[in-house]
Amino acid sequence: MIELDRLYNEDCLDLLPKIEDSSIDVVLTDPPFLYLKNQKLERPFDENRFFSEIKRILKDDGFLVFFGRGESFYRWNYIVSRMNLVFKEEVIWHKNKITSPVLPLGRCHETIAIWTKAKGKIRRCYIGYTEKKQDINSVIGDINRLRVVLNNPKELELAQMYLQTGEKVYSPDEKISKFKTSIQNTGSSSRVQNVLEQMRRGSLESSVMTVVKNSYKAIHPTEKPVRLLERLLCLVSDEGGWF
Protein backbone atom coordinates (compact mmCIF):
# COMPACT_ATOMS: atom_id res chain seq x y z
CA MET A 1 0.00 0.00 0.00
CA ILE A 2 1.16 3.54 -0.68
CA GLU A 3 1.92 6.18 1.93
CA LEU A 4 -0.36 9.19 2.14
CA ASP A 5 1.10 12.71 1.82
CA ARG A 6 3.87 11.44 -0.44
CA LEU A 7 4.54 12.22 -4.11
CA TYR A 8 4.91 9.24 -6.45
CA ASN A 9 6.32 9.40 -9.98
CA GLU A 10 5.23 6.25 -11.79
CA ASP A 11 2.68 4.89 -14.23
CA CYS A 12 -0.76 5.41 -12.70
CA LEU A 13 -1.88 1.92 -13.77
CA ASP A 14 0.94 0.54 -11.63
CA LEU A 15 0.15 2.89 -8.74
CA LEU A 16 -3.66 2.73 -8.56
CA PRO A 17 -3.82 -0.98 -7.52
CA LYS A 18 -1.74 -0.11 -4.44
CA ILE A 19 -4.42 2.29 -3.13
CA GLU A 20 -7.00 0.96 -0.68
CA ASP A 21 -10.65 0.57 -1.68
CA SER A 22 -12.97 3.52 -0.98
CA SER A 23 -10.18 5.68 0.49
CA ILE A 24 -9.95 8.68 -1.87
CA ASP A 25 -12.17 11.80 -1.92
CA VAL A 26 -11.26 13.17 -5.37
CA VAL A 27 -9.40 12.00 -8.44
CA LEU A 28 -8.64 14.98 -10.68
CA THR A 29 -6.94 13.79 -13.85
CA ASP A 30 -5.88 15.01 -17.27
CA PRO A 31 -5.39 11.81 -19.32
CA PRO A 32 -3.72 11.80 -22.75
CA PHE A 33 -6.27 13.16 -25.24
CA LEU A 34 -4.77 10.86 -27.91
CA TYR A 35 -4.77 13.43 -30.71
CA LEU A 36 -1.41 15.21 -30.36
CA LYS A 37 1.31 14.13 -32.77
CA ASN A 38 5.01 13.61 -31.98
CA GLN A 39 4.43 14.07 -28.24
CA LYS A 40 6.13 11.47 -26.05
CA LEU A 41 3.61 11.86 -23.22
CA GLU A 42 0.67 11.30 -25.57
CA ARG A 43 0.37 7.52 -25.44
CA PRO A 44 -2.57 5.08 -25.40
CA PHE A 45 -3.59 3.45 -22.12
CA ASP A 46 -6.09 0.85 -20.92
CA GLU A 47 -9.05 3.19 -20.45
CA ASN A 48 -11.47 0.65 -18.97
CA ARG A 49 -8.94 -0.54 -16.42
CA PHE A 50 -7.95 3.05 -15.58
CA PHE A 51 -11.50 4.21 -14.81
CA SER A 52 -12.38 0.93 -13.08
CA GLU A 53 -9.48 1.40 -10.66
CA ILE A 54 -10.56 4.98 -10.00
CA LYS A 55 -14.09 3.85 -9.17
CA ARG A 56 -12.70 1.25 -6.76
CA ILE A 57 -10.58 3.70 -4.76
CA LEU A 58 -13.21 6.47 -4.53
CA LYS A 59 -15.40 6.88 -1.46
CA ASP A 60 -19.15 6.70 -2.08
CA ASP A 61 -19.33 10.51 -1.97
CA GLY A 62 -16.05 10.87 -3.85
CA PHE A 63 -15.58 12.58 -7.21
CA LEU A 64 -13.89 11.89 -10.51
CA VAL A 65 -12.96 15.07 -12.39
CA PHE A 66 -11.28 14.81 -15.78
CA PHE A 67 -10.24 17.05 -18.67
CA GLY A 68 -10.70 15.97 -22.25
CA ARG A 69 -11.32 16.90 -25.85
CA GLY A 70 -12.91 15.34 -28.90
CA GLU A 71 -13.60 11.64 -29.33
CA SER A 72 -11.63 10.49 -26.29
CA PHE A 73 -13.52 12.85 -23.95
CA TYR A 74 -16.94 11.58 -25.03
CA ARG A 75 -15.74 7.98 -24.97
CA TRP A 76 -14.51 8.40 -21.38
CA ASN A 77 -17.88 9.83 -20.34
CA TYR A 78 -19.57 6.80 -21.89
CA ILE A 79 -17.18 4.41 -20.10
CA VAL A 80 -17.79 5.87 -16.64
CA SER A 81 -21.55 6.05 -17.22
CA ARG A 82 -21.52 2.30 -17.99
CA MET A 83 -19.71 1.82 -14.68
CA ASN A 84 -22.72 3.44 -12.96
CA LEU A 85 -20.97 6.57 -11.79
CA VAL A 86 -23.32 9.55 -11.45
CA PHE A 87 -22.86 12.60 -13.70
CA LYS A 88 -22.87 15.91 -11.80
CA GLU A 89 -21.57 18.79 -13.92
CA GLU A 90 -19.72 19.85 -17.05
CA VAL A 91 -17.31 22.78 -16.76
CA ILE A 92 -15.71 24.85 -19.50
CA TRP A 93 -12.22 26.22 -18.97
CA HIS A 94 -12.01 29.50 -20.90
CA LYS A 95 -8.33 30.23 -21.51
CA ASN A 96 -8.97 33.84 -22.53
CA LYS A 97 -6.75 33.37 -25.58
CA ILE A 98 -6.58 30.94 -28.49
CA THR A 99 -4.29 27.92 -28.32
CA SER A 100 -2.79 28.31 -31.79
CA PRO A 101 -3.15 31.10 -34.39
CA VAL A 102 -2.59 28.68 -37.29
CA LEU A 103 -5.81 26.71 -36.74
CA PRO A 104 -8.86 27.56 -38.88
CA LEU A 105 -10.92 27.92 -35.68
CA GLY A 106 -9.42 29.69 -32.69
CA ARG A 107 -9.67 27.12 -29.90
CA CYS A 108 -9.78 28.83 -26.51
CA HIS A 109 -11.44 26.30 -24.22
CA GLU A 110 -11.25 22.82 -22.76
CA THR A 111 -14.03 20.70 -21.33
CA ILE A 112 -14.12 19.13 -17.87
CA ALA A 113 -16.49 16.41 -16.66
CA ILE A 114 -17.45 15.94 -13.00
CA TRP A 115 -18.79 12.56 -11.84
CA THR A 116 -19.41 11.09 -8.40
CA LYS A 117 -19.16 7.45 -7.40
CA ALA A 118 -22.62 7.58 -5.81
CA LYS A 119 -23.51 10.29 -3.30
CA GLY A 120 -21.21 13.29 -3.88
CA LYS A 121 -22.65 16.79 -3.74
CA ILE A 122 -21.24 19.88 -5.47
CA ARG A 123 -20.15 22.58 -3.00
CA ARG A 124 -21.14 26.24 -3.23
CA CYS A 125 -17.94 28.21 -3.89
CA TYR A 126 -17.42 31.93 -4.26
CA ILE A 127 -14.82 33.68 -6.38
CA GLY A 128 -13.38 37.09 -5.50
CA TYR A 129 -14.96 40.01 -7.33
CA THR A 130 -11.83 41.11 -9.19
CA GLU A 131 -11.05 37.55 -10.28
CA LYS A 132 -14.55 36.77 -11.55
CA LYS A 133 -15.36 40.15 -13.12
CA GLN A 134 -12.99 40.09 -16.09
CA ASP A 135 -15.58 41.52 -18.48
CA ILE A 136 -15.23 45.33 -18.47
CA ASN A 137 -18.88 45.78 -19.47
CA SER A 138 -19.99 43.85 -16.40
CA VAL A 139 -17.84 46.05 -14.15
CA ILE A 140 -19.25 49.20 -15.78
CA GLY A 141 -22.75 47.88 -15.14
CA ASP A 142 -21.95 47.47 -11.45
CA ILE A 143 -20.51 50.98 -11.27
CA ASN A 144 -23.68 52.40 -12.82
CA ARG A 145 -25.77 50.57 -10.22
CA LEU A 146 -23.68 52.06 -7.44
CA ARG A 147 -24.12 55.54 -8.92
CA VAL A 148 -27.83 55.17 -8.24
CA VAL A 149 -27.05 55.36 -4.53
CA LEU A 150 -25.91 58.99 -4.81
CA ASN A 151 -29.25 60.10 -6.25
CA ASN A 152 -31.61 57.84 -4.31
CA PRO A 153 -31.87 58.28 -0.52
CA LYS A 154 -33.69 54.97 -0.14
CA GLU A 155 -30.96 53.03 -1.97
CA LEU A 156 -28.31 54.88 0.04
CA GLU A 157 -29.99 53.80 3.27
CA LEU A 158 -30.17 50.17 2.09
CA ALA A 159 -26.52 50.23 1.06
CA GLN A 160 -25.46 51.68 4.41
CA MET A 161 -27.57 49.10 6.26
CA TYR A 162 -25.97 46.22 4.34
CA LEU A 163 -22.43 47.51 4.94
CA GLN A 164 -23.13 47.83 8.67
CA THR A 165 -25.00 44.57 9.27
CA GLY A 166 -24.15 42.35 6.29
CA GLU A 167 -27.86 41.57 5.92
CA LYS A 168 -29.94 42.24 2.81
CA VAL A 169 -33.41 43.78 3.01
CA TYR A 170 -36.11 42.41 0.74
CA SER A 171 -39.02 44.39 -0.65
CA PRO A 172 -42.48 42.79 -1.05
CA ASP A 173 -42.97 40.93 -4.30
CA GLU A 174 -46.09 39.07 -5.35
CA LYS A 175 -44.26 36.91 -7.92
CA ILE A 176 -42.91 33.78 -6.25
CA SER A 177 -41.43 30.96 -8.30
CA LYS A 178 -43.63 27.87 -8.59
CA PHE A 179 -40.64 25.64 -9.32
CA LYS A 180 -39.39 23.67 -6.32
CA THR A 181 -35.81 23.85 -7.56
CA SER A 182 -35.77 27.65 -7.36
CA ILE A 183 -34.62 29.65 -4.34
CA GLN A 184 -37.84 31.32 -3.21
CA ASN A 185 -37.73 34.66 -1.42
CA THR A 186 -40.73 36.66 -0.26
CA GLY A 187 -39.42 39.60 -2.21
CA SER A 188 -36.57 41.05 -4.22
CA SER A 189 -33.41 42.63 -2.82
CA SER A 190 -31.91 45.98 -3.74
CA ARG A 191 -29.69 45.88 -6.83
CA VAL A 192 -27.13 47.99 -5.01
CA GLN A 193 -27.10 45.51 -2.13
CA ASN A 194 -26.55 42.69 -4.63
CA VAL A 195 -23.52 44.46 -6.11
CA LEU A 196 -22.07 45.20 -2.67
CA GLU A 197 -22.58 41.56 -1.69
CA GLN A 198 -20.61 40.40 -4.75
CA MET A 199 -17.78 42.77 -3.89
CA ARG A 200 -17.75 41.68 -0.26
CA ARG A 201 -18.28 37.91 -0.50
CA GLY A 202 -17.48 37.24 -4.15
CA SER A 203 -19.58 35.76 -6.93
CA LEU A 204 -20.94 32.25 -7.05
CA GLU A 205 -18.71 29.95 -9.10
CA SER A 206 -20.03 29.29 -12.61
CA SER A 207 -19.73 26.47 -15.12
CA VAL A 208 -17.43 28.62 -17.29
CA MET A 209 -14.12 29.32 -15.54
CA THR A 210 -11.87 31.97 -17.05
CA VAL A 211 -8.26 31.31 -16.05
CA VAL A 212 -5.34 32.45 -18.19
CA LYS A 213 -3.08 29.64 -19.39
CA ASN A 214 0.41 29.47 -17.89
CA SER A 215 2.77 31.79 -19.76
CA TYR A 216 6.04 30.23 -18.60
CA LYS A 217 7.82 27.53 -20.59
CA ALA A 218 5.74 24.37 -20.31
CA ILE A 219 6.94 20.77 -20.12
CA HIS A 220 3.74 19.50 -21.74
CA PRO A 221 1.47 21.40 -24.19
CA THR A 222 -1.67 20.75 -22.13
CA GLU A 223 -0.44 21.86 -18.70
CA LYS A 224 -3.18 23.28 -16.47
CA PRO A 225 -2.94 26.42 -14.30
CA VAL A 226 -2.78 25.76 -10.56
CA ARG A 227 -5.57 28.27 -9.94
CA LEU A 228 -7.91 26.35 -12.25
CA LEU A 229 -7.27 23.15 -10.31
CA GLU A 230 -7.92 24.97 -7.03
CA ARG A 231 -11.29 26.19 -8.25
CA LEU A 232 -12.28 22.71 -9.45
CA LEU A 233 -11.24 21.11 -6.17
CA CYS A 234 -13.26 23.69 -4.25
CA LEU A 235 -16.41 22.37 -5.95
CA VAL A 236 -15.86 18.74 -5.00
CA SER A 237 -13.87 18.61 -1.76
CA ASP A 238 -13.48 19.92 1.75
CA GLU A 239 -10.34 20.82 3.66
CA GLY A 240 -8.46 17.71 4.76
CA GLY A 241 -9.65 15.50 1.92
CA TRP A 242 -7.52 12.95 0.05
CA PHE A 243 -6.88 13.58 -3.65
Winning range, highest mean pLDDT, from 18-32, 96-110, 202-216: 18-32
Instruction: Please state the separation of Cα 170 from the chain's center in Å.
Output: 30
Q: What number of residues does the chain have? A: 243
Statement to judge: residues 90 and 150 lie in one domain: no
pLDDT at 86: 97
Statement to judge: residues 53 and 97 lie in one domain: yes
Statement to judge: residues 39 and 97 lie in one domain: yes
Whether 58 has a pLDDT exceeding 90, the answer reads yes
Statement to judge: residues 89 and 167 lie in one domain: no
Contacts with 108 (C-beta within 8 Å, 6 or more apart), sequence order:
94, 95, 96, 97, 98, 99
Judged by DSSP in three states, 68 sits in strand
Statement to judge: residues 56 and 117 lie in one domain: yes
Q: What is the reported pTM?
A: 0.77
Domain harbouring 226, CATH code:
3.40.50.150
Whether 231 has a pLDDT exceeding 90, the answer reads yes
Query: Can you tell me the distance from the alpha carbon of 26 to that of 57, in angstroms, rounded to the nearest whole number?
Result: 10
Q: Look up the domain containing 217 and give its range.
A: 12-125+206-236
Statement to judge: residues 37 and 52 lie in one domain: yes
Cα 160-165-169 angle, rounded to 5 deg: 70
Statement to judge: residues 114 and 16 lie in one domain: yes
Statement to judge: residues 61 and 135 lie in one domain: no
> Is the separation of the CB atoms in 113 and 77 below 8 Å?
yes
**What is the pLDDT of the chain when averaged over all its residues?**
81
Statement to judge: residues 27 and 95 lie in one domain: yes
